[in-house]
């Protein structure tokens, strides 16, 4: 029994150590990618999705054994609390991973979203230069959704029915000014601001991996007055954005419309 008690103590300590190391490992993978210590494929695919998942499974196994020993082996100290907390780390992590995986399976594997799929807003040379030669193509027409082998534009319209052109009563000048303010409030960095052309471009950078998405807002005068606003958001790397660009466009549209409402 004394031998089992020692095994229990050691196992609980290992479980606790793994539970602490696991989130630290994921943080290192993400932040290392962000500051350029390694490429995004190594940080996301190798470290996070490969090694990281195996690490969580190992933590789960050790923590489960530690919990079982803590309950069975006497003396029944509060080591079971530590083991249970250690077990919670991989359970939460694997649960979140499965949730993301399930969401990705339901969405098209695309990363270029536009409110106008026929006359797509284009990006300036400043954005093209910033993206570099290894980024995803900015050629919207002809892009294919790998899941369905159909056009990305068709997949987008089917998956994101609420990503649409905005028709506003405010003047193009006012809408353009508010578009710039809205993008800034959303945390995007303004790259170009062409008031005379109704164009504003901005870049979003994610906190963890530092993944960058480029966004362009095009404001034009409506035929009957007011303004017509089209927005496009494109990821620099990766095949699927898991709905991020569509969500950003919807958030922008909602915030822009809210900013143009008269104060009560």
Joined together, the tokens standing for residue 169 give 């009563």
pLDDT 10s digits, 10-56: 999 999 999 999 999 999 999 999 999 999 999 999 999 999 999 99
The pLDDT value given to residue 145: 83
- Whether the pLDDT of residue 1 is over 70: the answer is no
pLDDT 10s digits, 80-105: 999 999 999 999 999 999 999 999 99
CA atoms within 13 A on the CB side of 81: 2
Per the listing, tokens 């390694």 go with 38
Provide mean pLDDT across the span 167-193: 97
Could you tell me the pTM of the whole model? 0.87
CA distances 28 to 32, 121, 156, Å, are 5, 37, 34
The pLDDT value given to residue 241: 94
pLDDT 10s digits, 109-165: 999 999 999 999 999 999 999 999 889 999 987 888 887 788 999 999 999 999 999
Q: Which class would CATH give 112-260?
A: alpha beta
- Whether the pLDDT of residue 2 is over 80: the answer is no
- Whether the pLDDT of residue 226 is over 70: the answer is yes
The pLDDT value given to residue 29: 98
* The dihedral sign for the CA sequence 171, 172, 176, 182: positive
Domain locations in the chain as residue ranges: 2-106, 112-260
């Amino acid at each position: 029994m004394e031998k089992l008690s020692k095994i229990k103590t050691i196992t609980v300590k290992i479980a606790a150590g793994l539970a602490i190391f696991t989130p630290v490992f994921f943080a290192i993978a993400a932040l290392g990618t962000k500051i350029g210590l390694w490429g995004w494929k190594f940080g996301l695919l190798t470290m996070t999705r490969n090694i990281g998942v195996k690490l969580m499974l190992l933590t789960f196994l050790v923590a489960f054994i530690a919990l079982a020993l803590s309950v069975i082996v006497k003396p029944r100290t509060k080591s079971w609390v530590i083991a249970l907390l250690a077990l919670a780390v991989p359970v939460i992590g694997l649960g979140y991973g499965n949730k993301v995986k399930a969401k990705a399976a339901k969405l098209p594997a695309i990363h270029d979203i536009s409110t106008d799929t026929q006359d797509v807003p284009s990006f300036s040379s400043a954005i093209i230069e910033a993206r570099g030669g290894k980024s995803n193509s900015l050629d919207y027409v002809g892009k294919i959704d790998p899941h369905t082998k159909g056009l990305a534009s068709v997949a987008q319209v089917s998956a994101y029915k609420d990503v649409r052109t905005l028709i506003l009563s405010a003047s193009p000048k006012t809408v353009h000014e508010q578009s710039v303010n809205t993008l800034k409030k959303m945390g995007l960095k303004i790259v170009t601001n062409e008031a005379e052309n109704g164009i504003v471009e901005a870049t979003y950078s994610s906190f963890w991996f530092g993944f960058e998405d480029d966004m362009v807002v095009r404001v034009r005068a409506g035929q009957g007055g007011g303004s017509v606003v089209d927005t496009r958001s494109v990821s620099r790397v990766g095949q699927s954005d898991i709905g991020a660009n569509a969500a950003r466009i919807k958030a922008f549209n909602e915030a822009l419309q809210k900013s143009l409402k008269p104060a009560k």
